[in-house]
């Protein structure tokens, strides 16, 4: 199997189309990274909300038990 490029410099030059190729790569990779980061932050936020809700429900149950005594 032969390599399409003879050196790393040729690889990064992409046969004279480097600007378009690397711009397309950037326009693909940057939004994907943004999506991954947004998903991680959203997941953490949802878990924190669930924790807060469970703690609130537990406090309400505890309060009702003390009032019932």
9-50: pLDDT as tens digits: 998 898 889 999 999 999 999 999 999 999 999 999 999 999
- Residue 2: which pLDDT band, with cuts at 50, 70 and 90? confident
> What is residue 1's predicted lDDT score, i.e. its pLDDT?
58
Which residues 6+ apart lie within 8 Å of 27 measured at CB? none
Q: ∠ CA 24-27-32 to the nearest 5 degrees?
A: 130
> What is residue 33's predicted lDDT score, i.e. its pLDDT?
98
Q: Which of 43, 20, 41, 39 is nearest to 31 (CA)?
A: 39
pLDDT at position 69 over 80: no
**8 Å CB contact between 11 and 5:** yes
Stretch 52-69: mean pLDDT: 91
């Amino acid at each position: 199997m032969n390599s399409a490029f003879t050196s790393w410099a040729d690889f990064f030059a992409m046969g004279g189309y480097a600007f378009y190729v690397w711009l397309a790569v950037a326009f693909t990779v940057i939004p994907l990274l943004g999506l991954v980061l947004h998903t991680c932050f959203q997941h953490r936020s949802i878990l924190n909300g669930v924790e807060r809700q469970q703690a609130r429900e537990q406090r309400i149950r505890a309060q009702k038990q003390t009032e019932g005594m």
